[in-house]
A = this chain, B = another copy of it.
Amino acid sequence: MSSTRERLVEAMATSLARKGFAGVGVSEVLEQAQTPKGVLYHHFTDGKTGLAIAAIRLSIERITGSLARKRASCEDPIEALELWLEGMRQRLEASSFEYGCPLAATALEVHAEQTELRAALTEGFNALQAEVARTIEAAGIPAARARELAAFFVSAYEGGLMQARVASDSTFLRGICATLLGLLRAEQRLQKPLPQRKNQTKRSVHNA
């Protein structure tokens, strides 16, 4: 059985992905979790904010875990990435283009005074980037470059999710996805062009 606490966090997590922190009402979350108000303020002294932070952590845990699992079960790390992106796109589609990134909406609403919430979000995005970077590295790309690419990767996909959401159309997002994976493959080829060949000049697509 799921505890009331778990149900609350779960409900908040989906609500955050759908409308962000400012957009959700506490009563709404309570209703979805089938829980009276007392439970919330018993488990989370910080109320709505505390619950949101827990929800953000849960979402990130799940999403990074999902990528890690796919990476473990796939021969090719880049294919794992592809499957992972596809999974998120399908969730968006299955929810009639309501369920986007669990963090993004909140990230754009939060203001300077909400330090804890903001910290949880930063931490979340860092964890996300780190997991993607790990995957890219597993594809044979040096760590430093993998981090750069991961940052770019996450940004582009976040933007794509957002635009697909408003437009209620994900063909767009598929394009983004394909472009990103293409970039990674190209980078991969640069890194291990032909193992027998020495003295490869490395040309980077990107320029810092």
Contacts and interface: CB of A to CB of B under 8 A. Distances in A.
A122 interface: yes
A110 B186 CA distance: 37
Q: Which of A109, A111, A155, A204 has the most chain B CB atoms inside 10 A of its CB? A: A155
A152 B162 contact: no
Interface of A: 18-20, 22-23, 96-98, 100-101, 104-105, 107-112, 118, 121-122, 125, 148, 151-152, 154-160, 162-163, 165-168, 172, 175-176, 178-179, 181-183, 186, 204-208
Contacts of A111: 18-19, 98
6 contacts: A20-B108, A104-B108, A105-B105, A155-B156, A155-B158, A178-B206
Given A155-B156, A156-B152, A162 B104 contact: yes
10 tightest CB-CB pairs across the interface, nearest first?
A155-B159, A158-B159, A105-B108, A22-B23, A159-B159, A156-B156, A22-B22, A155-B160, A179-B206, A182-B207
- The number of times this chain is found in the oligomer is 2
A152 to B, nearest CB: 5
B163 A179 contact: no
Contacts of A104: 108, 162
